[in-house]
């Protein structure tokens, strides 16, 4: 915006910026499909709160679960929040 002297100079830059953003979104979508596969069996996102579990215990249990079930790295659960009495997976 600051490098444009008029609206007529700004519009072509704005159009190019939108096209770049759109292409970037398509690239991100393609990369997601490459990493996660094209399966319709992705399931819905989820989270759950676990009360009274030490975060390190949770990490250890997640690691054991992932190793015994061969969960791919991109599908592994993780701790997203830690509070005094609970964690969110």
Along the 89 residues of the chain, how does pLDDT read in single tens digits?
A: 677 788 888 888 889 999 999 999 999 988 877 776 656 565 677 889 999 989 999 999 999 999 999 988 878 889 999 998 999 99
What pLDDT score does 51 carry?
92
In which element (H, E) is residue 57 found?
A: helix 55-69
| pTM score over 0.95 | no
What pLDDT score does 33 carry?
79
Separation of alpha carbons 32 and 38, rounded Å? 9
User: Residue 89's Cα: distance from chain center in Å?
Assistant: 14
């Amino acid at each position: 915006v600051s490098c444009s002297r008029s609206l007529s100079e700004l519009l072509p830059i704005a159009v190019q910026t939108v096209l770049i953003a759109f292409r970037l979104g398509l690239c991100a979508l393609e990369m997601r499909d490459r990493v996660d596969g094209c399966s319709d069996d992705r399931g819905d996102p989820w989270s759950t709160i676990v009360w009274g579990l030490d975060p390190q215990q949770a990490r250890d249990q997640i690691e054991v679960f992932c190793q015994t079930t061969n969960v791919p790295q991109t599908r592994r659960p993780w701790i997203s929040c830690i509070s005094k009495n609970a964690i969110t997976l």
